[in-house]
Homo-oligomer: A and B are copies of this chain.
């Protein structure tokens, strides 16, 4: 496998960073995961916009332009012969001259791009996941939630709880006791034929696939709205599904072991999403 590291395409074994890299020491970095199908990225611009917003919030100057990154990403897809792949783009603040949290003088960021195998969603086959509610909470209104930051311990702990329960994903509540998102997915639920999803101010990731789902709802004339919901409310829903760039649309088959209804609208949104790819 070839990896892009600071302007060079190198073998995986040579893709290394200093133990003084700030993303290794403090999680001082951010990332994106962009799906490629048939050698072309899906919603490249939306991913890069979120990436740039994160870099701006953290004040990390990305050393490559969007065009240079796109060129390098395409080359990586070609070199690895992986037309269907999930591209991970990682930007770290790099090495500091000084010890400590201050970003002052840490002005040689590290940019990494690498690929993971990816399967194109099948319009005839909706994935169905067992989901649990994690005990770990997320802070409501957290500005760092606006992009994929490299501080993922809450998600890792929640995901470990899912593993222990034999589940595919864990949903997290925020500090206001609203169910807000999965560890790697945005949350939707159906109620009175309306598709609902938590608002961004709840402290969730503005997912690219989340946004595609809202586009699909408009196109298919399905009512949709953003609102907060407690766990008790979620358990009463007419159906629950998740969205993520790597998998697309996934139905929640059971929540904490209780089977959920699976209305036709979830299948319709899944098929419409597959049509976009």
Contact = CB atoms under 8 A, between A and B. Distances in A.
Interface of A: 3, 5, 12, 15-21, 23-29, 31, 58-59, 86, 88, 90, 92, 99-104, 112, 114, 116, 136-137, 139-140, 143-144, 149-160, 162-163, 175, 183-184
Point out which of A19, A100, A136, A184 has the most chain B C-beta atoms below 10 A from its C-beta: A19
Contact of A139 (B25, B156, B175): B175
Given A18-B15, A151-B153, A163 B104 contact: yes
Chain A binding surface SS class: mixed
Contacts of A59: 160
A223 B50 CA distance: 51
Nearest to A150: B27
A28 B112 contact: no
Contacts of A151: 26-27, 151-153
A150 to B, nearest CB: 5
A139 B21 CA distance: 26
Given A27-B150, A102-B163, A152-B27, A17 B15 contact: no
